[in-house]
Amino acid sequence: MKIRKAQLKDAEAIAHVHVSSWQSTYQHVIEEEYIQSLNVENRITLWETVLTKQINGQTVLLAETEQGEIVGFISGGKERTKRYGYDGEIYAIYLLDQYQGKGYGTQLFKSFVENMKEEGYESILVWVLTQNPYKRFYEKFGATPVEAEEVTIGKGTYQETAYGWKRMDVLEEQLNKMAM
Protein backbone atom coordinates (compact mmCIF):
# COMPACT_ATOMS: atom_id res chain seq x y z
CA MET A 1 0.00 0.00 0.00
CA LYS A 2 1.12 3.52 -0.79
CA ILE A 3 -0.21 6.78 0.68
CA ARG A 4 0.24 9.95 -1.38
CA LYS A 5 -1.21 13.41 -1.91
CA ALA A 6 -4.01 13.59 -4.45
CA GLN A 7 -3.56 15.37 -7.76
CA LEU A 8 -6.15 16.78 -10.15
CA LYS A 9 -5.82 13.71 -12.39
CA ASP A 10 -7.10 11.58 -9.46
CA ALA A 11 -10.55 13.24 -9.33
CA GLU A 12 -12.34 10.44 -11.21
CA ALA A 13 -10.85 7.67 -9.06
CA ILE A 14 -11.67 9.59 -5.87
CA ALA A 15 -15.23 10.12 -7.13
CA HIS A 16 -15.57 6.38 -7.76
CA VAL A 17 -14.41 5.53 -4.22
CA HIS A 18 -16.68 8.25 -2.79
CA VAL A 19 -19.86 7.02 -4.51
CA SER A 20 -19.14 3.32 -4.05
CA SER A 21 -18.35 3.78 -0.36
CA TRP A 22 -21.44 5.91 0.27
CA GLN A 23 -23.65 3.33 -1.41
CA SER A 24 -22.27 0.45 0.63
CA THR A 25 -21.81 2.24 3.96
CA TYR A 26 -25.13 4.07 4.08
CA GLN A 27 -27.44 1.64 2.24
CA HIS A 28 -29.36 0.83 5.43
CA VAL A 29 -28.86 4.23 7.08
CA ILE A 30 -29.92 6.81 4.49
CA GLU A 31 -33.02 6.69 2.32
CA GLU A 32 -32.58 4.44 -0.71
CA GLU A 33 -33.69 7.09 -3.22
CA TYR A 34 -30.82 9.38 -2.24
CA ILE A 35 -28.24 6.57 -2.24
CA GLN A 36 -29.30 5.53 -5.75
CA SER A 37 -29.14 9.14 -6.98
CA LEU A 38 -25.41 9.40 -6.28
CA ASN A 39 -23.27 9.32 -9.39
CA VAL A 40 -19.60 9.47 -10.23
CA GLU A 41 -19.97 12.31 -12.76
CA ASN A 42 -21.25 14.76 -10.12
CA ARG A 43 -18.54 13.71 -7.69
CA ILE A 44 -15.83 14.18 -10.35
CA THR A 45 -16.86 17.84 -10.57
CA LEU A 46 -16.79 18.13 -6.78
CA TRP A 47 -13.31 16.59 -6.50
CA GLU A 48 -11.89 18.61 -9.38
CA THR A 49 -13.03 21.72 -7.52
CA VAL A 50 -11.60 20.50 -4.20
CA LEU A 51 -8.25 19.60 -5.75
CA THR A 52 -8.02 22.89 -7.66
CA LYS A 53 -9.12 25.39 -4.99
CA GLN A 54 -8.05 23.72 -1.72
CA ILE A 55 -10.52 25.79 0.32
CA ASN A 56 -9.76 25.87 4.07
CA GLY A 57 -6.25 24.59 3.39
CA GLN A 58 -7.77 21.26 2.44
CA THR A 59 -5.49 18.26 2.07
CA VAL A 60 -6.50 15.07 0.26
CA LEU A 61 -4.46 11.89 0.71
CA LEU A 62 -4.97 8.67 -1.22
CA ALA A 63 -4.46 5.00 -0.43
CA GLU A 64 -3.22 3.03 -3.43
CA THR A 65 -2.57 -0.65 -3.97
CA GLU A 66 0.84 -1.78 -5.17
CA GLN A 67 -0.67 -1.82 -8.67
CA GLY A 68 -1.57 1.88 -8.40
CA GLU A 69 -5.35 1.47 -7.91
CA ILE A 70 -6.83 4.18 -5.70
CA VAL A 71 -8.89 2.37 -3.05
CA GLY A 72 -9.43 5.07 -0.43
CA PHE A 73 -9.00 8.70 0.49
CA ILE A 74 -9.06 11.10 3.40
CA SER A 75 -9.74 14.81 3.15
CA GLY A 76 -9.59 17.60 5.69
CA GLY A 77 -8.29 20.99 6.73
CA LYS A 78 -9.39 23.81 8.99
CA GLU A 79 -12.30 23.10 11.31
CA ARG A 80 -15.27 24.73 9.60
CA THR A 81 -17.68 25.68 12.41
CA LYS A 82 -15.21 27.38 14.79
CA ARG A 83 -17.63 26.48 17.63
CA TYR A 84 -15.93 23.66 19.49
CA GLY A 85 -12.32 24.68 20.12
CA TYR A 86 -10.71 22.40 17.52
CA ASP A 87 -8.48 23.77 14.78
CA GLY A 88 -8.47 20.80 12.33
CA GLU A 89 -11.21 18.67 10.81
CA ILE A 90 -11.54 15.49 8.81
CA TYR A 91 -14.07 16.22 6.06
CA ALA A 92 -14.24 12.71 4.59
CA ILE A 93 -12.55 9.33 4.80
CA TYR A 94 -13.69 6.43 2.62
CA LEU A 95 -12.36 3.05 1.50
CA LEU A 96 -13.74 0.58 -0.99
CA ASP A 97 -15.44 -2.31 0.84
CA GLN A 98 -12.91 -4.95 -0.11
CA TYR A 99 -10.06 -2.91 1.45
CA GLN A 100 -11.73 -2.26 4.80
CA GLY A 101 -10.39 -4.08 7.84
CA LYS A 102 -6.94 -4.56 6.27
CA GLY A 103 -5.11 -1.59 7.76
CA TYR A 104 -5.59 0.79 4.83
CA GLY A 105 -7.85 3.11 6.83
CA THR A 106 -5.48 3.21 9.79
CA GLN A 107 -2.49 3.99 7.57
CA LEU A 108 -4.44 6.66 5.70
CA PHE A 109 -5.60 8.22 8.97
CA LYS A 110 -2.08 8.04 10.44
CA SER A 111 -0.55 9.78 7.41
CA PHE A 112 -3.26 12.43 7.52
CA VAL A 113 -2.65 13.14 11.22
CA GLU A 114 1.10 13.40 10.60
CA ASN A 115 0.44 15.81 7.72
CA MET A 116 -1.94 17.94 9.81
CA LYS A 117 0.55 18.04 12.69
CA GLU A 118 3.31 19.17 10.30
CA GLU A 119 1.00 21.96 9.15
CA GLY A 120 0.64 23.14 12.75
CA TYR A 121 -2.74 21.73 13.74
CA GLU A 122 -3.09 20.79 17.40
CA SER A 123 -6.54 19.18 17.54
CA ILE A 124 -8.97 17.52 15.17
CA LEU A 125 -12.71 16.98 14.81
CA VAL A 126 -14.75 14.66 12.58
CA TRP A 127 -18.52 14.53 11.98
CA VAL A 128 -20.04 11.06 11.63
CA LEU A 129 -23.63 10.01 11.05
CA THR A 130 -24.65 8.65 14.43
CA GLN A 131 -26.10 5.51 12.80
CA ASN A 132 -22.88 4.87 10.85
CA PRO A 133 -21.52 1.53 12.10
CA TYR A 134 -17.98 2.62 11.19
CA LYS A 135 -17.89 5.30 13.91
CA ARG A 136 -16.10 2.59 15.93
CA PHE A 137 -13.05 3.39 13.79
CA TYR A 138 -12.71 6.76 15.55
CA GLU A 139 -13.67 5.44 18.95
CA LYS A 140 -10.89 2.85 18.90
CA PHE A 141 -8.39 5.70 18.56
CA GLY A 142 -9.76 7.50 21.60
CA ALA A 143 -12.13 10.00 19.98
CA THR A 144 -14.61 11.54 22.37
CA PRO A 145 -18.11 12.72 21.44
CA VAL A 146 -18.28 16.52 21.29
CA GLU A 147 -21.72 17.42 19.97
CA ALA A 148 -24.65 16.01 18.05
CA GLU A 149 -26.93 17.84 15.63
CA GLU A 150 -29.41 17.21 12.87
CA VAL A 151 -28.36 17.18 9.21
CA THR A 152 -30.49 16.94 6.08
CA ILE A 153 -29.40 14.51 3.38
CA GLY A 154 -31.72 14.22 0.41
CA LYS A 155 -35.25 14.18 1.81
CA GLY A 156 -34.25 12.76 5.19
CA THR A 157 -33.06 14.21 8.47
CA TYR A 158 -30.36 12.36 10.37
CA GLN A 159 -28.32 12.85 13.50
CA GLU A 160 -24.63 13.53 13.12
CA THR A 161 -22.13 13.27 15.98
CA ALA A 162 -18.89 15.22 16.18
CA TYR A 163 -15.96 13.28 17.63
CA GLY A 164 -12.75 14.99 18.60
CA TRP A 165 -9.21 14.68 19.77
CA LYS A 166 -8.08 17.74 21.74
CA ARG A 167 -4.40 16.82 21.39
CA MET A 168 -3.00 15.70 18.05
CA ASP A 169 0.14 14.31 19.73
CA VAL A 170 -1.94 11.92 21.88
CA LEU A 171 -3.84 10.77 18.77
CA GLU A 172 -0.57 10.26 16.92
CA GLU A 173 0.73 8.07 19.77
CA GLN A 174 -2.47 6.01 19.67
CA LEU A 175 -2.20 5.57 15.89
CA ASN A 176 1.44 4.53 16.14
CA LYS A 177 0.51 1.82 18.65
CA MET A 178 -2.35 0.54 16.48
CA ALA A 179 -0.34 0.63 13.23
CA MET A 180 2.32 -1.73 14.56
For residue 97, give the DSSP letter.
G
Confidence of residue 180 (pLDDT cuts 50, 70, 90): low
Per-residue pLDDT tens digits for 120-151 = 999 999 999 999 888 889 998 999 999 999 99
CATH of the domain at 115: 3.40.630.30
Percent of the chain with pLDDT strictly greater than 90: 75
Cα dihedral 80, 130, 25, 133 sign: positive
* Among candidate residues 62, 56, 59, 68, the one with its CA nearest the CA of residue 14: 62
Q: Which domain holds residue 117?
A: 2-178
* Among candidate residues 15, 20, 5, the one with its CA nearest the CA of residue 112: 5
Per-residue pLDDT tens digits for 24-59 = 988 888 998 999 999 999 999 999 999 998 777 899
The domain tally of the chain equals: 1
- 159, pLDDT greater than 90: yes
Please tell me the total number of residues recorded for the chain in this structure: 180
